Structure 1
Amino acid sequence: MTDFVLVAGAWLGAWAWDEVVPELRAAGHGAHALTLSGLAEKRDVAAGQRTHVDDIVAEVDRLGSGERDVVLVGHSYSGIPVGQAAERIGDRLKRVVFVDSGVPAHGESMASAWWQGQAVFEAMLADNDGYWIPLTAPEFAGQDLTDEQIARIIDRATPHPGATVTEPAVLERSLTELPATYIKCLLDGDEPNPDVAELLKSDRWRLVEMNTGHWPMFSTPRDLARILLTEAAR
């Protein structure tokens, strides 16, 4: 049996996994959705990138040193702290699953790799009191989401603390050493980004494709759960 630790991306909390958790538990596994500091019910907690890494490690520690292995699941932004936390988990780590996510690079941040450039990203944060504001409804178009699902995300999303996306990642070894699966959601782009493509050359990494958008925990939760179960069994 496995303990899944599920971490959603920017603006989201543990609630984002509400339709995935029951599927994993029905298969006899532990499923633990985590809200990172500064978000959702923890929105008043100050947070930086290291805070989020510590949040994930603390959740694994909370589960104790039982017989169950741990699978860390990071969606979107949270792939960056999840990838860093993975190397601190030790022998309990069975696999890391990156769900259409970023991956950490030592000394780099999400802002430094922003497609429009770091200055643009940091200016956007400055214009919003240091927060990364949630998307608006039109920005979810073409992502395989119903109007009801989009409304739910928008209604529950919280501004994302800027320090978590501007502080650099810290890695002690190459991510190629991790047993990892990368789930690419094809409606959000046909190919993984170059950093991920390079990691996928490792024989410890696998690529799985889903024909859905960037938020599969909402659009196709059962399919996502099935993939997580399959990857955990490897």
Structure 2
Amino acid sequence: MPPTNTYVLVHGAWHDGQSWNRVAALLTAQGHRVLAPSLTGHGDKAHLLGPEVGLTTHVDDIVDLVLDQDLNDIVLVGHSYAGLIISSVANRIPHRVSRLVYVDAMVPTHGENAIDVMPLTQSLIDSAAATAQPWRIPPLPQFPAPFGLFGVTDPDDTAWLRSTLTDESVLCFQQPVELDNPAQALIPRVHILCVGSAPEGVTRRPLPPTQPNGEPSRVHELRSGHDCMIIKPAELSSLLLQEA
């Protein structure tokens, strides 16, 4: 029997753990253990959303899960905003993480927040500031194809995805990432970039040619909209299996 892996799949802003359903099913079918929790303020924890929920809250969510389940050698996968989360988790418990996988994700350096990594985020915060609840940011709107709802254009998938989305707290995008533990820099990293349908004005910061551990950067391109776990689950799962 081939060795099995433990995958912890972390969803991005506005989404919940259900966004990974298709990928989780494919990985599980190959005999791997998969956990795809919903972060505080999302999914079964949507009722906990408040202005005090921030990046630190979500890092605590994942660290607590790993420790409570006594998980080791995990493949920690983060989509979009969750690139900040998995980076911070690796800083807190590097001995539990075997690999970091950034799926069309924010890739921070020490002390950066979401605004630093993607300045467009500030416009969302500014828009929220003019509302009755300036601490909460609604999901991005649906755009005409090929951009769709986070890149999802299939009508059934779009309707389902819309039903799962919830607001995000401004603090999630304002709190900085801490990467001051030298051990986190030793963890191998993989980047999966969704290409071919980025909305105008959304730019990705170039990745450095080397990982923090000194190895060449490992980068895969996936022709897909942003929510590739919904649009291209088989292709994404294949890359996760290949890089575990």
TM-score normalized by the length of structure 1: 0.87
Deviation at 1:61, TM superposition (A): 1.1
User: Is the CA contact (8 Å cut-off) linking 1:135 and 1:154 kept in structure 2?
Assistant: no
- Do structure 1's residue 185 and structure 2's residue 194 form an aligned pair? yes
**Change in CA separation of 1:199 and 1:110 when aligned onto 2, cut-off 3 Å:** farther
Deviation at 1:77, TM superposition (A): 0.6
Match of 1:133 in 2: 138
Match of 1:62 in 2: 68
1:57 and 1:51 map into 2 onto residues whose CA distance is 10
Deviation at 1:196, TM superposition (A): 2.7
Offset from partner CA, 1:152-176 (integer Å, 9 cap, x none): 1112100111111111111114765
Match of 1:211 in 2: 223
Match of 1:162 in 2: 170
1:104 and 1:121 map into 2 onto residues whose CA distance is 19
User: Is the CA contact (8 Å cut-off) linking 1:136 and 1:154 kept in structure 2?
Assistant: no
Deviation at 1:140, TM superposition (A): 6.6
Q: Give the count of matched residue pairs.
A: 228
Report the 3-state secondary structure (helix = DSSP H, G, I; strand = E; otherwise coil) of the residue aligned with 1:35: coil
1:131 and 1:199 map into 2 onto residues whose CA distance is 36
Give percent identity, aligned residues only. 30
User: Is the CA contact (8 Å cut-off) linking 2:42 and 2:166 kept in structure 1?
Assistant: yes
Quote the RMSD (CA, aligned, Å): 2.4
Match of 1:88 in 2: 92
Structure 1 window deviating more from structure 2 (143-152 vs 8-17): it is: 143-152
Structure 1 window deviating more from structure 2 (86-95 vs 140-149): it is: 140-149
Deviation at 1:188, TM superposition (A): 4.3
1:123 and 1:163 map into 2 onto residues whose CA distance is 13
The letter of the residue matching 1:184 is L
Q: Which runs of 5+ in 2 are unaligned?
A: none
User: Is the CA contact (8 Å cut-off) linking 1:8 and 1:16 kept in structure 2?
Assistant: yes
User: Is the CA contact (8 Å cut-off) linking 1:114 and 1:121 kept in structure 2?
Assistant: no
**Change in CA separation of 1:193 and 1:114 when aligned onto 2, cut-off 3 Å:** closer
Selected match of 1:72 from 71, 76, 92: 76
Match of 1:41 in 2: 44
Report the 3-state secondary structure (helix = DSSP H, G, I; strand = E; otherwise coil) of the residue aligned with 1:137: coil
